[in-house]
Structure 1
């Protein structure tokens, strides 16, 4: 037999035993696929709630009390979080909650007493960005994006309820959607206009707004400002400009002690004007020390700012 006979000779065909083996293999594969599909069908989808606390405080405070200043009202965070969870149960009835992510700011990322109590709630994780000298949150949007993208990438969630309004969150929404998650934007009713960026509204899969009736049980205006230390509540005649100027210097000393000289260097180039958050903080703390509202006394507010600047400039 020459070398080519093996190539041109009769071809071997699978016998009955080989066909039976193949059939058995196909049957086992079908059984495995059936079990996998059944498991997938019975596994509930999962959702998570992402809360930008800065947005919630500002929007709810403005809606219920007319101000965004946290020091003038109390927010029942535990009750509000539970309300968000309950609402999610009705919106995603066939889904289980992974957890609630609560994003807030804190100086040097050290939890405040309030943030500690929120962190101790079941199914809640507190994530902190930094809080700068002007009480502005830094790094919160990037934390939201990191968590949203990571959970979507690992198929840990199928739906995300995002409570916020900053345009910087658009990239977080796009990242999560790129991995197949649906992102639902929840907001708080705005008092005139909008409190959520339009590009964010355009990108999400659905939108929902909580009105005054929903928010009102969780926001309470403080009856009076609490004085610092043992400062007495003002009684008797209205304070003079010199009195208020002295209080301004006292608040400046407290401000400098908590912020440090680096913040002072940032503030001085703007003299005689104060950034809005610093000016608001000065006013609220001065009113607490005086036991008197300065909202209707423009001359006293000017004296207050003069006293604040007088102290700061002597320390530079």
Structure 2
């Protein structure tokens, strides 16, 4: 009679590789070990995340802030009519964020503005020198309208959210074009909080933007008032003989030459289709500069203002 070990199918002892039960147990043991190692890794990662503070950033559409704060406090959107204490206002935004995001650290403040040929003005340079502030510039067209600012905001918001550099974004603006920036950041898990400035009348933020954000906050007159100062209006004495139409026309041509040299032919090409009308900001600049050169007010002198515009247009058309 042969030994049991000689009978096919009966294992010789423990650990026999021919035993399917033993192979299954070994595989299960390996899987269990792998799961345990994975769980340990996850626990270490969660512990590291728990020790890492949340981070927030503030995104400021300067065009919106100037227009909304100027209208609320000084009664005008025209930047030339008031001074904005940008440094003080930025610090106030940082303090407000510190209160709202109490367990979070500030990454930086992004200040988006427009400039001719994206060349910093002296005011923008001083803002750029502030700690924790990054100035990003779009273009200004011939009508003093910002171009490219919304795309800059979207690019920064989306990039920071995608790389998990921020968990919360305070967005100060009102343009409907910012909706795509909000959606992009939210798609990567960031929360976007819309901050606005109280409107003198109605609303100054697009409804679709209000619908998309995670929270909303509005700064009132008392908050904004310390940072906006209306400039004194220069008064000219109407003493002596009034300038002739030819005098005023000549001044208009002088101003046109300066305007063309600073703005360039691209701005001229944008302006010409509107002849004989000038965009509001350009017309206002023309009037203010002419009054400065003539040392005389042209308000209430419709004929002289027409002569001024004629001189301005004649020079521009002669250079086209």
> Above 0.5 in TM-score?
yes
Counterpart for residue 265 of structure 1? 269
2:257 aligned with 1:253: yes
User: 1:241–1:303: 8 Å Cα contact kept in structure 2?
Assistant: no
Indicate the SS of the match to 1:51.
strand
Counterpart for residue 3 of structure 2? none
User: 1:225–1:288: 8 Å Cα contact kept in structure 2?
Assistant: no
Counterpart for residue 39 of structure 1? 48
2:278 aligned with 1:277: no
User: 1:185–1:201: 8 Å Cα contact kept in structure 2?
Assistant: yes
User: 2:237–2:297: 8 Å Cα contact kept in structure 1?
Assistant: no
Q: Describe the superposition over 1:11-45 as per-residue Cα deviations: whole angstroms up to 9, x where unpaired.
A: 4538x999999988776665544443233223221
Indicate the SS of the match to 1:13.
helix
Counterpart for residue 174 of structure 1? 183
The 2-side partners of 1:8 and 1:179 are apart by 50
- Where do residues 78-157 of structure 1 align in structure 2 (5 Å cutoff)? 78-157=87-166
2:70 aligned with 1:61: yes
Look at both structures and tell me which one has the larger radius of gyration over its CA atoms.
2
- Where do residues 166-315 of structure 1 align in structure 2 (5 Å cutoff)? 166-224=175-233, 236-237=239-240, 239-240=242-243, 242=245, 243-315=247-319
Superposition TM-score, scaled by structure 2 size: 0.84
Indicate the SS of the match to 2:95.
helix
Counterpart for residue 230 of structure 1? none
Gaps of 5+ in 2: 1-5
User: 2:85–2:228: 8 Å Cα contact kept in structure 1?
Assistant: yes
CA RMSD of aligned residues (A): 3.3
Give the drift of 1:127: 0.8
Superposition TM-score, scaled by structure 1 size: 0.85
Gaps of 5+ in 1: 227-232
The 1-side partners of 2:39 and 2:269 are apart by 72
Indicate the SS of the match to 2:143.
coil
* 74-83 or 250-259, which deviates more: 250-259
